[in-house]
Amino acid sequence: MSKRQFRQSKQAKPTDASYPTLDSFDEGRRGFLARLGAMVLGATTLAAGLAACDSRRPVGGEPDGMVGPEGVAPAPDARIDIGPDGEPIGPMGVAPMPEAQLDAGPPKKDTMAYPGYAPTMDARTDGECPNP
């Protein structure tokens, strides 16, 4: 009798794994975060753009509101495409490349490691070996 025949007829059928592997989960999460980031940044940029179109509101930051002719939006380069470090962050309404800011997710968990234990061979981990 082959190994696989042992109990095969009586054993419950193996279940196919529908939960994602770590790689596909991380890929999905990166994609989600990138889309989320793009939406947030797009919305922020749009809001800033709309605000800039509002002649009653100073956009350039000048306290006297002298930012340009009445009813004319200032050039889009006024502030909204400048990051906090003065770096351009891309055209209006377009998210920066996701890997720049969004991909830096948390460090991947080593699911093989034994939590709280010394870094011994027992970190072998799957924990399936009965030997101490």
Q: How many residues bind another protein (CB under 8 A)?
A: 43
| CA-to-CA dists, residue 112 to 6, 20, 73, 104, 123, angstroms | 30, 17, 57, 22, 7
Site string for another protein, 22-41 (x = CB under 8 A): xx-x----------------
Residue 11 vs 63, nearer CB to another protein = 11
* Member of 48, 95, 104, 106 binding another protein (CB under 8 A): 106
Which residues, including other chains, have CB under 8 Å from residue 71's CB and lie 6 or more apart? 55
User: Would you tell me how many other CB atoms lie within 10 Å of the CB of residue 80?
Assistant: 19
- Is residue 9 near another protein by the rule CB under 8 A? no
Residue 55 vs 125, nearer CB to another protein = 125
Structure-token pair, residue 92: 């209006």
